[in-house]
Structure 1
Amino acid sequence: MVANSANRGFTLVEVLVTMVIFAIIGIASFQVLNQMVSTEEQSQKQRDQLERLQFSQLLMQQDIRQMVAKPTRPSAMEITHQYLSNDPRYFESDGGVLAFVRSGFDNPGYILPRSELQPVVYRLWEGDLQRVTETFVNDRSSEPSIQTLLEDVNELSFRFYRSETGSRSNQDTEEGWSDSWESAGDLPQAVEVTIGSENFGTIRRVFLIAGVGQLAVDDSEGDRGAN
């Protein structure tokens, strides 16, 4: 008696073909899923990098805008009236450096033994854009706070714009942009910051300094408490 073909089971070849088809579908699905996860990770990494870039630009803008003409004692002895420095000989950096004193260092009611002035240094160190701050303007006894703002940075440079309304001692200095700032008793009107990044290319921003032309902060001001 001939068996009913409708009740006949799968042959070995049919089973193998089915297994191959399911294996191909599984591999393809895994590859698609893996690609989606990889794309999401790359997108998240790029978003994080963009957020860090935006934060670093905002922080630099706030710091530079609040730059003040504050006499300092770099050697803890002699007072200098050079309120801003980009001399890499005085600050360790693999590229450009920008050092100054800013206002707005919150201290409500002076409950802390320090002023509202804070020394800030921007530098390039081992591929990182760093912001280095001290608690006191003229006291370097404590360890500085080092904050990494951006990674994979290969260039950091600054330029300075001098207006025609500088101090009396610098009236003969030419107005315009300069790669260095060596003027005593003056602050620039604006600072141009150039950052070379492996992730974003070359970024160039110009930040204005608020209140340029105002009287210098007295050396005794901001020296409350241990400052």
Structure 2
Amino acid sequence: MRGPGAQKGMSLVELLVALTVFAFVSAAAVSVLNIGASGRQQVEDVTDDLGALERARSVIRTDLMQVVDRPYREANGGELIVPMLGGVDADGTIPAGDSEKVLAAFVRNGWTNPNGAYPRSSLQHVTYILRGSDLIRRTRPFLDAAERTPRTDQILFSNVQEVGIAFELGVDWQGDWSPQQGKRIPDALRLTMVHPVYGRLQQDFLVGGME
């Protein structure tokens, strides 16, 4: 017999119940932690994507606002090319890699050269290219290209499933651009991208106006 001060221990059944409850609580806690970590990662991914999209828009907006009417030559040394080409006209004229699609090519002003550090002008040739799922901005150090002129590629936005481009002339939008009706530069450019997460993204940019 137990004395009055004796303590009663847990039975095997009670111990099993306690362990089962503890296991459920632990599993729930781990699940909550995983959900929290996953949620934070998703927020970080969205923040990164939106930041990249805003930076791309800023670069494109600055480029297009400073488009100028200045013809140039490609490395083949052929005829002068008009200051802006887009769509099929650009893709068939501007040199690019086999897996690349030229969306637009143009000349812009305002390329900074602090204290004249580099032997070049403020004019810059810019090409927008779709390579795989990346929207690329391609530039070169000189306006007129030579055979071995180096080029610099900047990824503006990644993981795009589709990219479309259109050019405004008056009240009409068209998918290709070359000089027409006496106008060498369009009024605006429309860029449309399809993203697997954010769907269809569309932005209109004014062209020229800051010469």
TM-score range, shorter chain: 0.7 to 0.9
Distance 1:97 1:196 in 2: 15
State the shift of 1:100 in Å.
Answer: 0.8
Partner of 1:135: 141
Q: 1:4 to 1:12 in 2, by over 3 A?
A: farther
State the shift of 1:76 in Å.
Answer: 4.3
Deviations 1:127-179 (A, max 9, x none): 1111111111113424311111222212222222235xxxxxxxxxxx73322
Equivalent positions of 1:41-190 (< 5 A) are: 41-86=41-86, 87-89=90-92, 90-92=94-96, 95=101, 97-140=103-146, 141-163=148-170, 176-183=172-179, 186-190=184-188
Q: Structure 1: any 5+ residue segments left out of the alignment?
A: 164-174, 215-227
2:191 touches 2:203 (CA, 8 Å); kept in 1? Answer: yes
1:152 touches 1:199 (CA, 8 Å); kept in 2? Answer: no
Distance 1:206 1:196 in 2: 15
Which has the higher mean CA deviation after the structures are superposed, 15-24 or 41-50? 15-24
1:67 touches 1:103 (CA, 8 Å); kept in 2? Answer: yes
Q: TM-score, normalised by structure 1?
A: 0.79
Q: How many percent of aligned residue pairs carry the same amino acid?
A: 29
Letter in 2 for 1:124: L
Letter in 2 for 1:118: Q
Distance 1:121 1:28 in 2: 53
Q: 1:3 to 1:143 in 2, by over 3 A?
A: farther
1:91 touches 1:97 (CA, 8 Å); kept in 2? Answer: no
Letter in 1 for 2:172: G
State the shift of 1:97 in Å.
Answer: 0.8
Letter in 2 for 1:204: Q
Give RMSD over aligned pairs: 2.3
Deviations 1:84-121 (A, max 9, x none): 11221234365551111111211023221111111111
Distance 2:43 2:178 in 1: 44
Q: TM-score, normalised by structure 2?
A: 0.85
2:178 touches 2:184 (CA, 8 Å); kept in 1? Answer: no
Letter in 1 for 2:59: L
Letter in 1 for 2:175: D
User: For 1:132, what is the secondary structure of its paired residue?
Assistant: strand
Letter in 2 for 1:116: S
Q: Structure 2: any 5+ residue segments left out of the alignment?
A: none
Deviations 1:22-62 (A, max 9, x none): 12111110100110000110111011111111111111111
Equivalent positions of 1:24-35 (< 5 A) are: 24-35=24-35
Aligned pair count?
Answer: 202
**Which consecutive segments of 4 or more residues in structure 1 shift more than 4 A?**
93-96
User: For 1:59, what is the secondary structure of its paired residue?
Assistant: helix
